[in-house]
Chains A and B, each alone.
Chain A
């Protein structure tokens, strides 16, 4: 009571009385403070500290003299780091290209099919989305077992249907290792773009489709000139998320192949490479926070810059389409 009187004042005219807007701002600030602290401690602080770490020389785990951009130069231009950086970047690009074309293409196709509400739509929605709910590490280990060269179900199945010649060490050879993990990633993620596209398709008023049909449009025309422009915002979200996910890809290759990107760096990606450089390869490498942090900073700047530029371009395109 006393507090209320203090705040409200006699007759509500106290100079301590807060206006509605201020009270609202205070209330919002109170709500936002915990996530803001969380964000600063677990996002901003690591990014800033990685940037600082990358500018110093390191002796084991101890920071030494100022290095300027030397760590960046070494990971970008000195052998063998240069080759490893290029290789990991190339693999990220492959992951992204596959995600954009095959994964998102297939997701869009399936969303268009499900958008016309065929029989069993709910069932298929659940089936496609189910893997998304599974933990990535669980998916990784499970598929590692399925793809096991000697005891895995994939090879056993191929052998049982007379296709022994196709049975192979999927994760053990340079020609198939990365693609195997990418396909598993697609299996895991496919449901997500399907659901996003489907939600966008279902938000289109039915009258638009009816009007198009009355004008004599076929299915392709409807998909191209009605559905596509109207789901463009959803496409933008999926493209950006695919890009960020592809270049931050870590958990699945780590679980299925390992931190050293075997065999022979065939499954190496930038996040694994950064982690391995900073914290040391299992029973083989040394910790190097300088170079590891330089890689992390480069990766962060690349993803941030491309995401911002690309989002702007896609938003502009959305406007044009609509």
Chain B
């Protein structure tokens, strides 16, 4: 008897009613490459949705290695999501230049308060407009295991020589001094980016971007020579050690130090909550010098130019530009937020913020990733060989300069 009551007509009526409710709600698709951050975004989105009952947000994260291919396909097929986590600089321009992204600096008032350095990562060079809300800056630093340092009576080294001496002490004690390897090409570039700025100096970036010098500059070559001195203290058989292995060596306390990016803080804490670690700035040559760190904007939140829900999308990215969101993201993911007013109690983040007071742009990412072959491609191809000793820093510098000169006018005019 009960079953008979649910006639097809009634079922259809109920379905129509439910569809009516669903259609009153706007669903925004939000794509990202931050698979590991999904939990944090979902928590933050849950809070946002509570305050905006008419909006649903689907956070969908893809593997970073395939993210660009998926995004490209979606854009060209007209199936792009409403909100897009975009990287910065050259990669961002891939999507902004063809008009796939909505201009935001005339719609999100909060962007006025962002520092220019952060906005420049999401600014299209062609028109000078901003197309994404910057989400985090990253700094290249050295992680060290405080237990091992304490055990060996070591203090964080303040000069290059002290650093080499500490590395030797660590190796003599049976630990690996630096967990890093060069099997993952991007890791080799990051490793270089951690230590090299102290040797090529703060002025080099502007000069090389302006074409006043090239990568064959003696300062750059000397920096590469200096960083090459570290191979003695890197992981055994470092040329075959990839990113995952290097991190495992550090996380499992087989290695005392790891040179990497500030984005690893949360990752290391999640992977091994018992690991006692701290961060230090890469050591300068002399104790009189202030350590110089590489800095870059990690990415931003953009809105598809073809979104069917422009109003809701802009409202959501306005929230993503707010100190309220920045604070949540910083607290959850230990990111250094570019949003003015966001402060962190995290002692490691505080240190990173201090290091940023004397920073230089991460050279290839910020300056030479706008045309192919990018500076990073050229560097990453040759760095493993340089560290393995099959190529000299001079040769590397020459090849990188020649590759960039193919398209870079300031180099061509020299």
Residues of A that sit less than 8 Å from B by CB? 59-62, 78-81, 148-151, 167-174, 258-260, 262-265, 277, 279-288, 291
CB-defined contacts of B69 to chain A, threshold 8 Å: 279-280
How far apart sit A62 and B64, CA to CA, in the bound complex (Å)? 22
> Contacts A61-B75, A80-B402 hold; do A286 and B369 have CB atoms under 8 A apart?
yes
How far apart sit A287 and B371, CA to CA, in the bound complex (Å)? 10
B264 vs chain A, min Cβ distance (A): 15
> Contacts A80-B403, A264-B384, A264-B385 hold; do A286 and B374 have CB atoms under 8 A apart?
yes
Q: Are A285 and B377 in contact (CB under 8 A)?
A: yes
> Contacts A79-B403, A149-B240 hold; do A284 and B183 have CB atoms under 8 A apart?
no
Q: Counting CB contacts under 8 A, is B23 at the interface?
A: no
Residue contacts A-B, CB under 8 angstroms, 16 given: A80-B402, A148-B240, A150-B241, A167-B237, A169-B240, A172-B241, A262-B183, A265-B381, A280-B68, A282-B64, A283-B186, A284-B189, A284-B369, A284-B376, A285-B372, A286-B374
**Contacts A174-B388, A284-B186 known; 15 new A-B pairs at CB < 8 A:** A60-B95, A80-B402, A169-B241, A172-B237, A172-B241, A173-B239, A259-B65, A262-B183, A263-B185, A279-B72, A281-B374, A281-B377, A286-B90, A288-B372, A291-B372
Q: Are B371 and A286 in contact (CB under 8 A)?
A: yes
Q: Counting CB contacts under 8 A, is B235 at the interface?
A: yes
Q: Are B65 and A282 in contact (CB under 8 A)?
A: yes
How far apart sit A259 and B388, CA to CA, in the bound complex (Å)? 20
**Residues 342-364 of chain B: 1 if any A CB is under 8 Å from the residue's CB, otherwise 0?**
00000000000000000000000
Q: Are A286 and B91 in contact (CB under 8 A)?
A: yes
> Contacts A279-B69, A283-B186, A284-B380 hold; do A60 and B240 have CB atoms under 8 A apart?
no
Q: Are B97 and A264 in contact (CB under 8 A)?
A: no
Q: Are A263 and B186 in contact (CB under 8 A)?
A: no
Closest to B399 in A: A80
Q: Which 6 A-B pairs have the closest CB atoms?
A: A169-B240, A172-B240, A149-B240, A172-B239, A149-B237, A62-B98
B328 vs chain A, min Cβ distance (A): 26
CB-defined contacts of A79 to chain B, threshold 8 Å: 402-403, 406
Q: Are B76 and A172 in contact (CB under 8 A)?
A: no
Residues of B that sit less than 8 Å from A by CB? 64-65, 68-69, 72, 75-76, 90-91, 93-95, 97-98, 181-186, 189, 235-241, 245, 249, 369-374, 376-378, 380-382, 384-385, 388, 390-391, 399, 402-403, 406
Q: Are B241 and A260 in contact (CB under 8 A)?
A: no
Q: Are B97 and A59 in contact (CB under 8 A)?
A: yes
A238 vs chain B, min Cβ distance (A): 33
Q: Are A283 and B239 in contact (CB under 8 A)?
A: no
A155 vs chain B, min Cβ distance (A): 8
Q: Are B93 and A60 in contact (CB under 8 A)?
A: yes
CB-defined contacts of A282 to chain B, threshold 8 Å: 64-65, 186
CB-defined contacts of B239 to chain A, threshold 8 Å: 149, 169, 172-173, 263
Q: Are A285 and B373 in contact (CB under 8 A)?
A: yes
Q: Are A61 and B388 in contact (CB under 8 A)?
A: no
CB-defined contacts of A291 to chain B, threshold 8 Å: 372
CB-defined contacts of B249 to chain A, threshold 8 Å: 150
Closest to B373 in A: A80
Q: Are A61 and B72 in contact (CB under 8 A)?
A: yes
How far apart sit A60 and B72, CA to CA, in the bound complex (Å)? 9
Q: Are A61 and B185 in contact (CB under 8 A)?
A: no
Q: Are B94 and A61 in contact (CB under 8 A)?
A: yes
A172 vs chain B, min Cβ distance (A): 3
> Contacts A59-B98, A284-B374 hold; do A279 and B381 have CB atoms under 8 A apart?
no
CB-defined contacts of A285 to chain B, threshold 8 Å: 372-374, 376-377
A265 vs chain B, min Cβ distance (A): 6
How far apart sit A61 and B370, CA to CA, in the bound complex (Å)? 13
- Select which of A148, A262, A283 is within 8 A of B64 by beta carbon: A283
CB-defined contacts of A169 to chain B, threshold 8 Å: 183, 237-241
How far apart sit A59 and B381, CA to CA, in the bound complex (Å)? 24
Q: Are B385 and A263 in contact (CB under 8 A)?
A: yes
| Most chain B CB neighbours (cut-off 10 Å) among A79, A149, A259 | A149
Q: Are A174 and B182 in contact (CB under 8 A)?
A: no
Q: Are B98 and A168 in contact (CB under 8 A)?
A: no
B74 vs chain A, min Cβ distance (A): 10
CB-defined contacts of B236 to chain A, threshold 8 Å: 149-150
Q: Are A174 and B237 in contact (CB under 8 A)?
A: no
A40 vs chain B, min Cβ distance (A): 19
| Most chain B CB neighbours (cut-off 10 Å) among A168, A173, A291 | A173
CB-defined contacts of B385 to chain A, threshold 8 Å: 174, 263-264
CB-defined contacts of B372 to chain A, threshold 8 Å: 277, 285-286, 288, 291
Q: Are A170 and B240 in contact (CB under 8 A)?
A: yes
A54 vs chain B, min Cβ distance (A): 15
- Select which of A60, A81, A150, A258 is within 8 A of B94 by beta carbon: A60
Q: Are B237 and A60 in contact (CB under 8 A)?
A: no
> Contacts A262-B183, A263-B182 hold; do A173 and B240 have CB atoms under 8 A apart?
yes
Closest to B380 in A: A284
Q: Are A264 and B374 in contact (CB under 8 A)?
A: no
Q: Are B94 and A287 in contact (CB under 8 A)?
A: yes
